[in-house]
A = this chain, B = another copy of it.
Amino acid sequence: MSILIDETTRLLVQGITGKEGAFHTLRNRDYGTNVVAGVTPGKGGQDVDGIPVYETVAEAVDATGADTSLIFVPARFAADALYEAADSGVELLVLVTEGIPVLDMVSAVGYLRGTSSVLLGGNCPGLISPGKANVGIIPGEICMRGSVGLISRSGTLTYQIVHELTQRGIGQSTCVGMGGDPVHGIGFVDALRRFEADPETESVVVIGEIGGSDEEQAAAFISQEMTKPVVAYVAGLSAPPGKRMGHAGAIVTGSSGTAQAKVDAFEAAGVRVGRNPTEVAALVAA
């Protein structure tokens, strides 16, 4: 087992003919992911190194049974790509595109709640179930199959921590990069719930950063519902306080948003917190 993707995943790539789209699609396929189709409007009938390109997601799903979509389209087309994939019955949408307007994401996330599709991202590196499937831009060679589940708001910081785990011989069940955008799909709590239910996952690493209140919510969930051990890391302990415009954000979250507040919340929930990526790996090993 693993969460969200595995060897049965049938991957479709929206925006497959773009430069980054083609590059990462082929890397994902080289990793062993079952990439069954691509979609680029106006390029239906072409192929990308043997992967058939369709005009619409519906056609691609009909022809190939794709159940997961990896999305690389430009930011201004991102919401539409989500609508198309969800309306076509794709189960998991992995949105790598960055720079998507917040209003588009609020509308799309609201729309997706009324469907059976699950979103990861946007502005996210995707996810990997090592040895099974890699969907996104996480470098597969730094990962190793094992029993640690990992969920992160960061991109490259995730790679860093995965790398440290792998170097200690600690493998991962699934590494999930949820992305750092303020409005996003799967968050800490969703991923933690899935890891808690996944038989292959024995412990979980949560990688947070300053801003928002995702970590505080994760801490609350962990203390109430998690039985598996959790190690956390929060980037930005030495970050200077940002310049503040208004009060509304603080009223909404009821949180200061500082890294220290998040570390405190995790520790109060019984989560061990590493001071740096290396210490995180050491705590998992301990």
Binding site for B on A (CB under 8 A): 110, 113-114
Residues in B neighbouring A110, C-beta threshold 8 A = 114
Question: Which B-chain residue is minimally distant from A111 (CB atoms)?
Answer: B114
Mind listing 3 A-B residue pairs with CB under 8 Å?
Answer: A110-B114, A113-B114, A114-B114
A39 to chain B, nearest CB (A): 26
Q: How distant is the Cα of A113 from the Cα of B115 in the complex, in angstroms?
A: 10
Q: How distant is the Cα of A114 from the Cα of B110 in the complex, in angstroms?
A: 9
Question: Which B-chain residue is minimally distant from A113 (CB atoms)?
Answer: B114
A117 to chain B, nearest CB (A): 13
Q: How distant is the Cα of A110 from the Cα of B110 in the complex, in angstroms?
A: 12
Q: How distant is the Cα of A110 from the Cα of B113 in the complex, in angstroms?
A: 12
Question: Which B-chain residue is minimally distant from A115 (CB atoms)?
Answer: B114
Q: How distant is the Cα of A114 from the Cα of B113 in the complex, in angstroms?
A: 7
Q: How distant is the Cα of A113 from the Cα of B116 in the complex, in angstroms?
A: 13
A70 to chain B, nearest CB (A): 26
Residues in B neighbouring A114, C-beta threshold 8 A = 110, 113-114
Q: How distant is the Cα of A114 from the Cα of B115 in the complex, in angstroms?
A: 9
Residues in B neighbouring A113, C-beta threshold 8 A = 114
Q: How distant is the Cα of A116 from the Cα of B113 in the complex, in angstroms?
A: 13
Q: How distant is the Cα of A110 from the Cα of B114 in the complex, in angstroms?
A: 9
A110 to chain B, nearest CB (A): 8
Question: Which B-chain residue is minimally distant from A110 (CB atoms)?
Answer: B114
Q: How distant is the Cα of A114 from the Cα of B109 in the complex, in angstroms?
A: 12
Q: How distant is the Cα of A110 from the Cα of B111 in the complex, in angstroms?
A: 10
A244 to chain B, nearest CB (A): 31
Q: How distant is the Cα of A113 from the Cα of B114 in the complex, in angstroms?
A: 7
Q: How distant is the Cα of A17 from the Cα of B110 in the complex, in angstroms?
A: 35
Q: How distant is the Cα of A114 from the Cα of B114 in the complex, in angstroms?
A: 5
A273 to chain B, nearest CB (A): 37
A260 to chain B, nearest CB (A): 36
Q: How distant is the Cα of A113 from the Cα of B113 in the complex, in angstroms?
A: 10
Q: How distant is the Cα of A127 from the Cα of B227 in the complex, in angstroms?
A: 47
A25 to chain B, nearest CB (A): 33
The 3 closest A-B pairs by CB, nearest first: A114-B114, A113-B114, A110-B114
